[in-house]
Amino acid sequence: MKRLKLAITGLTACSGCQLTLLNCEDELPELLERCELIYFPLAESGDLDEASFDAAIVEGAVSTPKDLELLFKLRNASRLLVAYGTCALFGGVAAMNNRVSARVDLLQSVFGTGNKLPDSFPPVPLGNFVSVDATITGCPPETCDIVAMVAALAAGTLPPAPSYPVCTECRSRENLCLLLEKGQLCLGPVVQGGCNARCPATGIVCEGCRGPVREANVAQELELLLERGFGRDEIERRMSRFKPEWNYGQRS
């Protein structure tokens, strides 16, 4: 069987998504039998020039000209491009302060005043610049999701994406509802499942790290949270932690 030629890399990100793949120690030997890692800077040296790939798996948001240059190279050199993780899909944590108008102040708080500031712009998802063929969500993604994606790519197909909210998994685990029964600011009704409700199962509210579920009833979630005494600013701040732009009038 012909081995799948892969590129795996990151843009503006913490590299946690790529580490998730490297942490799949039990599955890596079998995956490497099916895949050839042509370009994976986090794990080994590689040359991007004049290379072509069956698929490029890209972590992180786009926030610099170098990010954009690399993204275009990978898109042009790859048959399929996979947006890997919440930052690549929605902007993620990197974009949580995109609504702050004084970007120079944000940069100076990191690099200091009087220093040359990097050439950058507000972080945005890959899909703002190139076509995306498949997605793996999460911050970081579940190991089973990346293994399923690579296995599917090697088989010449794509895995189905979950289309149910975290609440579905909460109920299947018979968890106490943190939103309705405990009155906490939980985003489970509008966030994509697939994590087996790991946080709510331990009493921690869903923070939305997997991004919005398809056809989320965002307007109803907003109304529900407002009725329970949470302020609009607090709700929007929490919802924008992993995805800066929500349609607060959307109803499924």
On whether the CB atoms of residues 6 and 150 are closer than 8 A, the answer is yes
Regarding pTM above 0.75, the answer is yes
What are the tens digits of pLDDT across the range 146-176?
999 999 998 899 998 888 999 999 999 999 9
pLDDT value at position 1?
62
The structural domains of the chain, ordered by start, are: 4-154 (3.40.50.700), 166-239 (no CATH)
Written as six digits, the tokens of 207 are 């923070």
What are the tens digits of pLDDT across the range 210-226?
999 988 999 999 999 99
CA 75/CA 127 separation, integer angstroms: 11
CA 3/CA 94 separation, integer angstroms: 34
Mind listing the pLDDT tens digit of every residue in the chain (252 residues)?
A: 688 999 999 999 999 999 998 888 888 888 888 898 899 998 876 778 778 999 999 999 999 999 999 999 999 999 999 999 999 999 999 888 887 767 777 778 878 887 887 788 889 999 999 999 999 999 999 999 999 999 999 889 999 888 899 999 999 999 999 999 999 999 999 999 999 999 999 999 999 999 999 889 999 999 999 999 999 999 999 999 999 989 889 887
Question: What does DSSP assign to residue 70?
Answer: H
Question: What does DSSP assign to residue 10?
Answer: E
Give the contacts of 103 (CB within 8 A, at least 6 positions apart). Answer: 122
What residues pair up with 56 in beta bridges, in sequence order? 7, 81
CA 89/CA 60 separation, integer angstroms: 8
Total Cβ atoms within 10 A of residue 18: 25
Written as six digits, the tokens of 222 are 């907003």
